[in-house]
Chains A and B, each alone.
Chain A
Amino acid sequence: MNKLAILMIAVLMIFCGYSKGQTSNGQVTWECILKRKSPEEGEISMKAKIPLGWHMYALGNSSKSPIKMNFKFLPDKSYELVGKVTQPTPLRKFEKVLGIPVTYFENDVEFSQRIKIKGKNGTIRGTIQFMQCSDEICIPPQEFGFALKIFSL
């Protein structure tokens, strides 16, 4: 009987803790790596981990919406960009407040940028500006900076 009471309290506590956890531990985290296909060809992989209950907006949303999502790469002698940043097919929903459809991701997403490597040594520096919202709150656009070293193969 007592055990059951404790169990019930524990279950209720889990319910209480859930919504609080959304605001304090909801940070999207990034992991960037440089994949090498050959001495001249490479691909910058930028992976985002999106916590449960949150979504992150995708590339290609209307410029007339408040969504900010972009990638910037600092030009350097050692590499040049090939094409644009690519992303998997995002989820879509109609945003009532804005009256336009918006695209977004949940859970995990990998963006990639192909590059041509020109120098033997160098560093690719870039920033990712992204925006995340839960059902309850939106966090101001954030920037994540990265630096990837190019090693000669």
Chain B
Amino acid sequence: MKSIKEILYVLSLPLIITLIMAFKGFADDQKLENIKAKNSGKSFAVVELFTSEGCWSCPPADELIARLEKDNENKKLFILAYHVDYWDHQGWKDRFSKAKFTERQKQYATWMNLGTLYTPQMVINGKTETVGSESTKVLRSIQSAMLESHAENLIVKMEKSEGKSIQISYTSTSASKNSIILMALVQKKASSQVSAGENAGKALSHVQIVRDLQSRTLQANDSFSFKLPDTKEDWEIIAFEQNQNSGEIIDATSVNL
């Protein structure tokens, strides 16, 4: 009698694993829906992806943020995709890459005590990091970030828009010391025609690409100037306050241009 039970236990193991795998996909879709639903609370999630067109393991992470962005009704979900420059060299360049985005990733490595950089890396609210293509982990981190309430005292406003030049001002009542304010100029959508040899004509599509990032010490009010690379595209400014000692993001907001 006992041995039959034991056999059943052993057989149940692969079955459980299969069921977990099947459930995972379903659970991810559910999480995605929850995250993208209207959010009237005082919580937010700043999702920063470090990626590159030259990184083989990155497309699933790019797809994940595209899924998060599509039909999103949560105004407190801020997605930023930074293209790092360490895959670039003579003969090959990701046109969205910038050295300062790599610097930002290095800064996170310092804050989080990580031994190495890698792509795709996803950082949520400056506090947790995970492999950008591991959808379950990413979505779980976003969900738990959405459970925390924040003061919500950062307000941004577009002051001026003349052709390609724009000026954005902010006011903040955050009392925290050692904080900086960052503003990211984000291109909502883009597709890159990869020109390399046999790949000619193939398009890679991206969402929420950071094209410029500026930061200064946080004050009660200040303003930032940006130059749009192209007026035909859709743009957004994502502004957020970050603690310089821990890397934690204290507050975030955005404005469409």
| A residues apposed to B, CB below 8 Å | 1, 4, 8, 11, 15, 19, 23-24, 62-66, 68, 95, 97-100, 133-141
**What separation, in Å, do the CA atoms of A66 and B86 have in the docked complex?**
9
| B residues apposed to A, CB below 8 Å | 2, 5-6, 9-10, 13, 17, 52-59, 84, 86-92, 94, 115-121, 131, 133-134, 194, 196-200, 202, 204
Q: A23-B131, A133-B56, A138-B57 are in contact. Are A66 and B118 (CB under 8 A)?
A: no
Q: A11-B13, A99-B202 are in contact. Are A133 and B197 (CB under 8 A)?
A: no
List the A residue with the shortest CB-CB distance to B92.
A66
Interface-centre pick from A15, A62, A136, A139 (highest chain B CB count, 10 A): A136
Q: A64-B91, A137-B131 are in contact. Are A98 and B199 (CB under 8 A)?
A: yes
What are 9 A-to-B residue pairs whose CB atoms are below 8 Å? A1-B2, A24-B115, A65-B54, A66-B92, A136-B57, A136-B133, A138-B56, A138-B118, A140-B87
**What separation, in Å, do the CA atoms of A71 and B91 have in the docked complex?**
18
List the A residue with the shortest CB-CB distance to B91.
A63
Which of A98, A140, A141 has a CB less than 8 Å from the CB of B194? A98
**What separation, in Å, do the CA atoms of A11 and B202 have in the docked complex?**
43
**What separation, in Å, do the CA atoms of A4 and B6 have in the docked complex?**
8
A136 CB, nearest partner CB in chain B, Å:
5
Q: Which residues of A have CB within 8 Å of B133?
A: 136
**What separation, in Å, do the CA atoms of A133 and B131 have in the docked complex?**
13
A12 CB, nearest partner CB in chain B, Å:
8
Q: A64-B197, A100-B199, A136-B133 are in contact. Are A95 and B56 (CB under 8 A)?
A: yes
A109 CB, nearest partner CB in chain B, Å:
19
B13 touches A97 (CB 8 A): no
Q: Which residues of A have CB within 8 Å of B121?
A: 137
**What separation, in Å, do the CA atoms of A23 and B58 have in the docked complex?**
15
Q: Which residues of B have CB within 8 Å of A141?
A: 86-87
**What separation, in Å, do the CA atoms of A24 and B129 have in the docked complex?**
14
Q: Which residues of A have CB within 8 Å of B89?
A: 66, 68
Which of A1, A23, A135, A138 has a CB less than 8 Å from the CB of B55? A138
**What separation, in Å, do the CA atoms of A138 and B55 have in the docked complex?**
6
List the A residue with the shortest CB-CB distance to B94.
A66
**What separation, in Å, do the CA atoms of A114 and B251 have in the docked complex?**
59
Which of B52, B87, B131 has a CB less than 8 Å from the CB of A136? B131
**What separation, in Å, do the CA atoms of A137 and B51 have in the docked complex?**
10
Which of A15, A62, A133 has a CB less than 8 Å from the CB of B57? A133
